[in-house]
């Protein structure tokens, strides 16, 4: 049959299942140990996100669409430097 010749997907292999189990166990212990810290930070999360906005604007360089209106880059000039 055609299904026998098709390669197994990584997450359906033994290694993938073990990796998923490892991450699930790690996530459980991470949540169990840090639940109090997360619960105490919940009222402040909107303010923290608002305070992170200036950093986002400093480090965010567009959406990668390549549509730079009015701007000229080396790529637009064919890669030659002036």
Which pLDDT does position 80 carry in this prediction? 56
pLDDT tens column, 50-81: 888 888 888 877 665 555 565 555 555 555 55
Which pLDDT does position 10 carry in this prediction? 81
- Cα gap 48→2, rounded to integer Å: 53
* Domain boundaries, position 48: 2-59
- Does 70 fall in a domain? no
- Greater pLDDT, 10 or 64: 10
Number of structural domains the chain divides into: 1
- Does 27 fall in a domain? yes
- Does 67 fall in a domain? no
- Does 65 fall in a domain? no
Contact 17, 10 (CB under 8 A): no
pLDDT at 26 over 90: yes
- Does 68 fall in a domain? no
- Does 8 fall in a domain? yes
Backbone angles phi and psi of 34, in degrees to 5? -115, 15
């Amino acid at each position: 049959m055609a299904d026998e010749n098709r390669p197994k997907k990584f997450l359906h292999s033994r290694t993938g299942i073990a990796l998923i189990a490892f991450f699930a166990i790690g996530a459980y212990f991470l949540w169990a140990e840090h639940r109090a810290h997360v619960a105490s930070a919940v009222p402040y999360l909107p303010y923290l996100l608002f305070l992170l906005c200036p950093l986002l604007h400093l480090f965010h360089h567009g959406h990668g669409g390549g549509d730079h209106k009015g701007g000229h880059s080396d790529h637009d000039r064919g890669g030659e430097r002036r």
